[in-house]
Amino acid sequence: PDRLSKNNPPAANHLTVDTFRYATQNTQVNIINMKLAIASLLVGSAAAFAPAATPMRNSALNMSTETTTEKAFAKLPASVKPGVVTGDALVDLLDAAKDQGYAIPGVNIVGTNSINACMEAAAKYGGPIMVTFSKGGGQFIAGKSLANDADEASIAGSVAGAKHVHEVAKLYGVPVVLHTDHCQKAWLPWIDGLVAASETHFEQTGTPLFSSHMLDLSEESLEENIGICKDYLERFAKMGILLEFELGVTGGEEDGVDNTDVDSSRLYTQPEEVFYAYEQLSQVEGGAFTCAASFGNVHGVYAPGNVDLQPLILYNSQKYIQEKIGSEDDKPMKFVFHGGSGSSVEDIQYAIGAGVIKMNIDTDTQWAFWDGVRAYEAKYHDYLQGQIGNPEADDKPNKKYYDPRMSLRAGEEAMAARLIKAAEDLKCVNVLN
């Protein structure tokens, strides 16, 4: 890995004045002046030809001098610090989740209100959080009035949101994973724009802008799916970005991805498919990845009996890979759980036992935010019917009630409360200290 170069110019040769102690005073002065001139030339030459400092690669070796000297969290590796987590620190965080038996909430956001609610919740439940940008969410952050024909609004909004997280995440005192959600083949230009932004950020800081990206190429053949993922992972690995890929199909509809009419057989991934992906992606040097394997999970919330989850598929896949590679690790693959909203606690925790280290949440937190706003309006309804006049007096102003920050804050609080409940279900409470 690259190292920060140090401009240490070679020391000038010291001329010993004692050698000339019998010389005249003028000769001594001339010699001293010559010495200073030579030293000055040597310093200037060394500085001119010294290599420029380059950002440190985000590697475990480099981290040993930066982050292992003092642990920020008693229950996590020393590489994991408050703020945005990338590279080796992210792998360490996910390994800790797998080993300790919990999953991180991965929450879709649409603006700074939902972003902040995520981090507020994490600070309260005492665990990490994954802030997840969708293509549509990025567009919404940039502004729905903007053209998005070339994904320019989706790219700009996602980058702007990510920069917001980088600025404030440390203040919440928790590890934050910056992730992007489903990206099908037609949407790859969106990811290309985000990767370019990460490359610029990496050149400037030594870390990528985003922690991880999901490529959902499950509509393509297995070989094409993993082939494209492998190409992207080659690029990701150079910066320490983790890849999340999908096998099979997550049913239902979410943020422009509609699989409501998909054949039910595609909702269940086979162990052989998981192993093929594991084997291919493991060939990428320095690559890190997680797998969104389908086991009947569906986006959205449905009446009981309409969703048939089969987390046993994940256990079978782990066993298959373990036997194939001869590993002592009984959970060689890190799985993620899509379509988690509305799932039973029993199914969630059984899946965690199979190596699930993150569960996506969107539908439930959308409802929670709205419900907070709705409850605020109901509570202060009579103060929200005009700028002047309320039950207290006909001429009393209502500005402090209709200030948008009041209802939005109510939405944030309700969303944070729902995420604390989700963290409890995921056994992600008090996992930092």
**Residues designated as active site:** 181
Closest CA to 299 of 265, 339, 328, 257: 339
Tokens 């970005």 correspond to what residue? Answer: 241
Distance CA 208, CA 62 (A): 16
Token readout for 228 is 């494209």
Token readout for 218 is 């499950």
Q: Which amino acid, one-letter code, is at 350?
A: Y
Token readout for 187 is 């949407």
Distance CA 81, CA 72 (A): 6
Distance CA 68, CA 80 (A): 9
Is residue 141 within 8 Å of residue 163, measured between CB atoms?
Answer: no
Is residue 179 within 8 Å of residue 131, measured between CB atoms?
Answer: yes
Token readout for 137 is 């969410």
Q: How many residues does the chain have?
A: 433
Distance CA 396, CA 333 (A): 62
Strands 388-390, 393-397: pairing kind: antiparallel
How far, rounded to the nearest angstrom, does the alpha carbon of residue 170 sit from its chain's CA centroid? 14
Q: DSSP assignment, residue 15?
A: P
Q: Is the dihedral of CA 236, 238, 239, 240 positive or negative?
A: positive
Is residue 94 within 8 Å of residue 334, measured between CB atoms?
Answer: yes
SS3 assignment, position 13: coil
